[in-house]
A and B are shown apart, each in its own frame.
Chain A
Amino acid sequence: MTRAGPGTGSIRGRLMVLLLGGSAILALALFWVVQGFARQLAEESQDNILSASVTSILDAARIENGALVLDLPYSAFSMLANLHDDAVYYAIRADDTFLTGYDDLAAVPLPRADMPGFATRSFLDQDVRVVTAERALGPGGGQDSAPIRLSATLAQTRSGQEITLTRISRAAAAVGLGVFAGAAVLALAASRSAIAPLERLTLSVTRRGPQDLRPVTAPVPLEMVPLVAALNRFIGRLRGSLARSEDFIAEAAHRVRTPLATVRMQAEVTLQRVEREENRKSVREMIRAIDESSRAAGQLLDHAMVTFRADQLEETDLDLGAVTRDLTDRLRPTADLRDIALQARADDPVPIRGDAILVQNALRNVLDNAIKYAPEGSAVRITVTRQGEEGVVMLRDTGPGFPPDGMTRLRRRFQRGANVDGIVGSGLGLTIADEVMRAHGGTLDLRNNPDGGGACVSLRFPMA
């Protein structure tokens, strides 16, 4: 299995962070705007009441018999008693001379003569909202006809307003949180739907069989079209190069074996003709070298094929017993040449999942060894059994067995034992079998029979 390169964060994560961050900023902005607006409204409403109250105080003032009469209306103060109990202070002045109320409550400068002036100040250690309004009243005394400038200043603490504001802030915070929660849900949905086509594409590509190298044709969003096009181009290239290397292997095998076969035939013919013993000997050596080369070429090609296929197993359901029987039948003629009996026995059935070509290849190599290295006229016993979670093919011969140090070494490429005694071989058989077993998640066991000698080779496959 090939790994992808290192991940550089996820698109979904990035989308979520962006969307959530954005909506958090929006929610905060909403909170501030609502709160600011509410503060303004609350201030305005307090200002309105204060202004109505101060106006009613001024309206109630009059000149009677040349003297100023100030008649504070009860409603002027009682209207200031809202839900929360706020303290009230006032000061009334005529032409800047203090008349009544709280002397140290200073008037607020008016923006215009006919407009009340507002200010927020501290009075008696509390925050108060102050309003001042003026009214010309007059004329006063008989001869002195200049009107009196009557000024009323009214102040109210702001605890009621603060309470309203806290309540509104809480509501605004709730709205902000709600918006954020809603946005979070939407962000989740959005990122999911944005990722969905990618996931679909990934799934459709992973689900393909190893031989399936058709271009991807499923519809994808516009943004992914270039990616899919690039992928399809890449698949195309892969298909091309795969076809080329398969052709190359077949071609190479053909190109090497055919001339070797011709050369061997010629050498056999030559052997018939040559009479001098020393010449015959060198021709025989020639034939042997040719056999070695041919064998090596075949094994090399097989090995290349195995390595190539091991990356992309073409697994099917196999019965280990059936595969073994097939192969035994196929190799029986070779065994007969050396008068060796192949005794096969199989528990039925032993199902495994595997690449039939590779499994046959592995089996062929170990069976070939048994036939090759066992003494003439002996028997090779082949059993196929289940052992727990494993399906096992075991081959036992009565040959020389493995050299004591050879169990690991002989699996390596081109390694042959000291016991080969001029038997033709390339040292790749066990390498191939071992690779096949690994690719199937199984093991190749090499040991010698404890009683009476001979090799005991087991191929252990995980059961399907």
Chain B
Amino acid sequence: MRIPALSDGLIRALTLALTLACIIAAHPVQALDVEDRRRFGPDSAAQVLRILSTADTDVFAPVIRAFLIQEPDIAVDYIVASSGAVMAAMTKRPQDFDVVISSAMDLQTKLANDGFALSHRSATTETIPDWARWRDHLFAFTREPATLVLSRDAFRGLPLPRSRQDLIALLRQHPDRFHGRVGTYDLRASGLGYLFATQDARMSESYWRLTEIMGSLDAQLYCCSSAMIDAVARGDLAVAYNVLGSYARARPDADRYEIIQPQDFTTVMLRTALISRGTQAPQAAGRFLDHMLDIAWLGKTTEGYEFDRLSQTGPASGAHLRYIRLGPGLLVHLDRFKKDSFLRAWESAILQD
């Protein structure tokens, strides 16, 4: 066979088919790798809205409670899963979910592109700027800048880097101080890490230089933001790259580290919501979406709401902020070949021994 990847693909397809068969046999939600599941609202509710989400239940609960006050006849079944699991569940059984909320912009875009989302138009969606919605299918409701988290202890006596260039220079000048103490996502394990990395690489060559240097300093690789912040707080890491700033800010020991938005550019991810094509309750799902968007965009007050509210001024606020653009461009890096070659390049830069 001339193309080595091909046999590989065959095996993958086979495994996929097998898993698919198992999943269809099992109970739909059980087939999904559920991280958390909670029911809100009265047991006697006439309608149950099934929300599949990547956001922690506690973080999202205020939105649901405020919604249920408006709609006493509705109950909400809130299911938390990883972005990859959300994608898999939606492509297999879209009829099991009504609303899908995810931080994986690329996967959400692919769901919308591939016809798993329902179009939704309302007075609220009309107010949302073009950059924050796609095809009347996908709507952004909060933003998450990818930040640098720096340990204060580790940088004692050094100027704090304000940009990737600063960081590269510092890492070069002090290899001993930083050896084994820089951390970033393991792109092979983290979808979000991969999204940030591909966007960074698209934006500037400095990403690859930084990755090379981090590789030469024996970079530590993590699955997720919280693990990296833990490591910085513990003092294991001096630098964590592309960490979700909101997570870092929310911790009680946030004074131990510095959260920095790189001034050359800061990639900003948008959390998005869509209505499942298979929904049994399109009206209620639409109202829930409008409710979320009203809070995010129109400043409808909600107690305990922690997400960063979006202002109508949008991408213009903060010249260094680079919002990841919703649209077919996000599909490029989901391509199998593209992903393989990106990961190969990344591996050769970060794993240098």
Contact = CB atoms under 8 A, between A and B. Distances in A.
B119 to A, nearest CB: 10
Contacts of A73: 332
B251 interface: no
Interface stretch (A37-45, A96-104, A447-455): A96-104
Interface stretch (A81-89, A112-120, A334-342, A350-358): A81-89
B336 interface: yes
A86 B137 CA distance: 11
A124 interface: yes
A148 B3 CA distance: 10
B201 to A, nearest CB: 10
A68 B331 contact: no
Contact of B335 (A69, A78, A85, A100): A100
B337 interface: yes
Contacts of B350: none
Contacts of A124: 114-115
A67 B2 CA distance: 7
A88 B328 CA distance: 6
A99 B331 CA distance: 16
Interface of A is mostly: mixed
A77 B136 CA distance: 19
Given A72-B335, A72-B337, A85-B135, A99 B4 contact: no
Given A69-B341, A85-B327, A125-B115, A74 B332 contact: yes
B128 to A, nearest CB: 13
Interface in A312-362: none
A141 B202 contact: no
A76 B328 CA distance: 9
A94 B328 contact: no
B113 A88 contact: yes
Interface residues on A, range: 20 to 34
A140 B2 contact: yes
B115 A71 contact: no
Interface string A426-464: 000000000000000000000000000000000000000
B2 A141 contact: yes
B336 A100 contact: yes
Given A94-B3, A140-B2, A81 B335 contact: no
Interface in B107-141: 112-115, 134-136
B199 to A, nearest CB: 10
Nearest to A73: B332
B338 A72 contact: yes
Interface of B: 2-6, 9, 112-115, 134-136, 202, 325-329, 331-333, 335-338, 341
29 contacts: A67-B4, A68-B3, A68-B5, A71-B337, A71-B341, A72-B332, A72-B335, A72-B337, A74-B332, A74-B333, A77-B328, A80-B328, A81-B325, A81-B327, A85-B135, A86-B135, A87-B112, A87-B115, A88-B328, A89-B113, A92-B337, A94-B2, A99-B6, A99-B9, A99-B337, A101-B335, A102-B114, A141-B2, A144-B2
Interface of A: 67-74, 76-78, 80-81, 85-89, 92, 94, 97, 99-102, 124-126, 140-141, 144, 148, 159
